[in-house]
Amino acid sequence: MKRIVIQVFVILFCFWFFQRGVKPKVETPDEFQLNAFAHLPVKYEGRKKPFDTLARNLLTVLSGKQTAKNSDGEKVEAVEWLLDNIAGTTNAADYQVIRIENIDLLTSLGLEERKRFRYSYRELAPALVTLDQAARSAFAKEDRDRDLYDRQVMKLANKLYAFQNVLSAFEDPSGIAQDQLFATAQRYMQLENYSIPLVIPPTSGNERWRPLMSVLLASHPAMQGIAGHDVSVDPAAIHFGVMLAAYREGNISVFNQQLFEYGSVVQTENPVAFEKVSFEVFYNRLGAFMKSAQLYLLLFVLSMFGWLFRKDGLISASRTIMIIAFIPHTWAIIARVFLSGYPPVTNLYSSAIFIGWAAVGAGIVLELGFRKKTAGIGNLVGGIAGFSTLLVAHFLAGDGDTMQQMRAVLDTRFWLATHVITITLGYMATFVAGAIGVFYILGGLFTRRLDEETEEGMYRMMYGTTCFALLLSFVGTVLGGLWADDSWGRFWGWDPKENGALLIVIWNAIMLHAKYGQMVKHRGFAVMAVFGNVVTAWSWFGVNQLSVGLHSYGFTDSASFWLIMFCLSQATLCAAGLTPSKRWKSGATQDFL
């Protein structure tokens, strides 16, 4: 009965945890209907999305968070922050959302260091000319000649360029001088495809998504009679423009009325524009990945204590948490597939969440398959793998939309569903074997928990996952060669990414040969499995940092430091695993040879 009560409590806690923040604030008729505005469609960077997604992505790029605080210190949702900025309210420039961490850069911009390192656009405005000059100088240099200051300047400049680019699509055309109208209209017509948000959906008279400014300028009286310009008044654009003006003036009734009228016009003219929009808003608000990450961390802590002190109740509760956290993690991946129309792995962000998902699934299988000998090890693997990979994904999300338009060279659903999925599962299996190896070494060195039965069970886990890792990585590498032959006309070209995939295959093969040739025993196999983490991390992220080859599109500037730290930590663990058995607290563990 006690165990049943604990399980019911765990289930209720997880249910409460995941439902937090999903329901929007209840808005009365005398309040701005921000929830309805969040559901409006917009096309940006080649993908249709709700304004809720645009706001969250842009705010994440600027500040690393999806919420902001206004001048009164009150928490504001991303969509309200965006609406303040695109409407041009008086307090829009006072949001402290621009994160600047480099002290030298702060000094050059005339800013003082502060807690959380976030600054407002108004504070930055006097130094924008200085920043632009420094950015132009940094961009003109070769990559090898750029120092840390140059990279930080470029990073900040790119953030501000993206921010200003979004705002420029919503400028009030009434403030443009008469002699500049035509040039401005021409510029917006050239930028319609990808560079700025397009908020006017296709209608019966126009088959393209268009930016608000372009439509309003085209219907401006001063543009009458100019060849090539549609001077008809688009009702959707008029409603949207009046809606922004009403919000800027604080007129709630006009804003809500124009919001309703705009939605009605779009729904009548192009109902397809609203497809998947409400679902994506729900997906954003659920925040399944970060909530799962937090539960995985709780799972790891509970399972660690349960395994060390042989507490079956904690192990059982941890197992329940892992299974419950795995369900929304799975749902969120399926939701991304539905929203994007692509298989689950299309970029580094999606590879992180997929590797974490597969690793947690492997942890569930290990936990249920080895319950008698090594109860709790599957929980430990699932907890640390799920939390760490989703944490990596969280930082990768700072680059912008995680479901952006696919590059032409990658835009093939067949190879994404075969090669990419298979090779990513190969990464997962190698990481899982390495994670078990880490717990083997730490448990043997610092605890008495690694008895003979536990050691044998952990070794069997490592061996089984390594076999799967070799199979999946080999098949995935061959499929990658076939894709390369199909796309580039050659099966193998010794590209850094290809070499990284080959290294995983070779290392897993070496591990199995060392095992079958009796060159290593249990402890030696664990040390080799931990080094497999280094090999896999290099293939996953390391080769992208070289910025060369046909796979250089995965470059992530912020990954280099943490990649080095991770590799050093794994090398340290390998060295610890080679210490003599007499120094191991668990006692009579098997020798390395």
- For every residue of 110-163, DSSP letters joined together read T----GGGEEEHHHHGGGHHHHHHHHHHHHHS-GGG--HHHHHHHHHHHHHHHH
Q: For residue 478, what pLDDT band results from cuts at 50, 70 and 90?
A: very high
| Helices (H), ranges, 172-234 | 181-190, 212-218
CA distance 592 to 582: 12
**List of residues 6+ apart from 519 with CB closer than 8 A:** 513, 593
- pLDDT at residue 79 greater than cutoff 80: yes
> pLDDT tens digits for 272-282?
999 999 999 99
Burial class for 425, CB neighbours closer than 10 Å (0-12, 13-18, 19+) = buried
Top-confidence range, 61-75, 78-92, 143-157? 78-92
Q: In whole angstroms, what separates CA 33 from the centre of its chain?
A: 29
Q: Which residue has the tokens 């998504």?
A: 209
* pLDDT-above-90 percentage for the chain: 48
DSSP state of 23: S
Higher-scoring residue by pLDDT: 60, 546: 60
Q: Mean pLDDT, to the nearest integer, of 555-576? A: 83
In 3D space, the residue among 448, 402, 592 whose CA is nearest the CA of residue 514 turns out to be 592
Residue-wise pLDDT for 498-521, tens only, equals 888 999 999 999 999 999 999 999
Q: What is the mean pLDDT of residues 159-164?
A: 88
Q: What is the mean pLDDT of residues 364-383?
A: 87
Largest CA distance in the chain: 92
DSSP H helical segments within 219-276, as ranges?
A: 235-249, 252-269
Task: Please report which helix (H) or strand (E) contains residue 49, including its range.
Answer: strand 47-50
pLDDT 10s digits, 293-315: 999 999 999 999 999 888 888 89
What was the pLDDT predicted at 180?
46
pLDDT higher than 80, residue 178 = no
Provide the token pair at 263.
């939605």
Mean pLDDT of 7-21: 82
The larger pLDDT score, comparing residue 13 to residue 574, is at 574
Helix (H) or strand (E) holding 67: strand 67-69
pLDDT at 223: 47
| Helical (H) or strand (E) element with 537 | helix 522-540
Contact 93, 70 (CB under 8 A): no
**Does residue 182 carry a pLDDT above 60?**
no
Per-residue pLDDT, 312: 85
The strand pair at 75-77 and 41-44 is best described as unpaired
Say what the pLDDT of residue 552 is: 54
d(CA 577, CA 456): 16
Predicted pLDDT of residue 189: 47
Question: pLDDT-based confidence at 542, cuts 50/70/90?
Answer: confident
- CA–CA separation, 585 vs 188, rounded Å? 70
Count CA atoms within 13 Å of residue 488 on its CB side.
15
Per-residue pLDDT, 255: 95
- Find, among 466, 307, 457, 316, the residue nearest to 373 by Cα: 457
Cβ distance 57 to 51 under 8 Å? no
Are the beta carbons of 414 and 368 closer than 8 angstroms? no
pLDDT of residue 523: 93
pLDDT score, position 184: 46
Q: CA 347, CA 345: separation in Å to the nearest integer?
A: 6
Instruction: Report the chain's terminal Cα–Cα distance, integer Å.
Output: 48
Q: Report the SS3 class of residue 97.
A: strand
Which segment of 252-256, 440-444, 447-451 scores lowest on mean pLDDT? 447-451
- The mean-pLDDT minimum among 63-77, 284-298, 511-525 falls in 63-77
Q: Which two tokens stand for residue 179?
A: 């002699």
Write out the DSSP string of 557-582. TTHHHHHHHHHHHHHHHHHHHTS-GG
Between 108-122, 140-154, 219-233, the lowest mean confidence (pLDDT) is in: 219-233
Q: Which of 3-7, 97-101, 310-314, 355-359 has the lowest mean pLDDT?
A: 3-7
Q: Name the packing angle between helices 148-168 and 128-140 (round to 10°).
A: 120
Q: Is 295 helix (H, G, I), strand (E, B) or coil?
A: helix
CB 215 within 8 A of CB 234: yes
Angstrom distance (rounded) from CA 201 to CA 274: 10
Averaged pLDDT for residues 480-506 = 86
For 486, residues 6+ apart whose C-beta sits below 8 A from its C-beta are 415
Q: Give the pLDDT mean for 252-267.
A: 93
* Chain length of the chain: 593
Looking at every residue in the chain, the average pLDDT score rounds to 85
Q: What angle, rounded to 10 degrees, do the helices at 78-87 and 148-168 form?
A: 70
- Alpha-carbon span 179 to 174, nearest angstrom: 12
Query: Which of 169-178, 232-241, 328-337, 577-586 shows the lowest per-residue confidence on average (mean pLDDT)?
Result: 169-178
| Mean local confidence (pLDDT), 211-217 | 76
Q: Is the pLDDT of residue 1 over 90?
A: no
Residues 439-452 have a mean pLDDT of 91
